[in-house]
Amino acid sequence: MATATAHPARFLHKHRIEALTDGIYAVAMTILVLELKFDHGATFATAADFHSALLHLFPKFFAWIISFSILATFWISHHRAFHFVKTVDVKLLWINLWGLIFASFLPFASSMVGEHTRFFTAQAMYAVTMAGMALVAIVQITYLERHPELCDPPVPHYVANGARFRCFSIVAVAILAIVISAWQPLFGTAAFILMAVMGRIGRGIETRAAEREAQLSSDRPFP
């Protein structure tokens, strides 16, 4: 097994990729809210006009809530994974950068689905972006699991399995959203509400696996 001391040129500090990731996620989360604005030059003669304009913003507001929640979910997942990382290599850097490609694209996809909710292409673009982020996250946690020399301590299997379950769930929901959008685009984005349910199930599975592992460790006799 390779070690950082055996091949020092291969291994790099993790701090810069963490800083870059935090920065891009922060910018993406901030850009999302900029789409919550009235049409240029909009004026309101009465309270009814104002309320009507607010109601017209609902698709954008809904897309903002879903998109912000997705970015928060992936940022937390990244934060948890890199808790175990002590050093990085070039492959891990590129995996991380591919994740950031999708994260930085999400505000655009979110604005399209908020502005053009009735169009299948906008819904499909949004779903594909979500699925792309999830697939990269699966590759990343699996890479860390298979390269313990990058971690201290190694990523526990229950953590990796829990992350994969949540990410595969997002891919499944994205596919469902595309199917629904082909039938009725207005309901495509709503499919992503299921991610909250699947995330809760994933955390429950991970918690039970952690408890079983802790129980097995306590049952082992001391040497």
pLDDT at 105: 96
Q: With a cut of 50, which residues of the chain have pLDDT below it?
A: 1, 222
- Residue 36 backbone class (left: φ over 0; alpha: ψ -120 to 50; beta: rest): beta
Return the sign of the alpha-carbon dihedral for residues 118, 109, 126, 128.
positive
pLDDT at 72: 93
Q: How far is CA 163 from CA 18, 66, 78, 199, in A?
A: 19, 19, 10, 9
Residue found by looking up tokens 């507001």 in the block: 61
pLDDT at 176: 92
At 201-223, the pLDDT tens digits run: 777 777 777 677 666 655 555 45
pLDDT at 50: 77
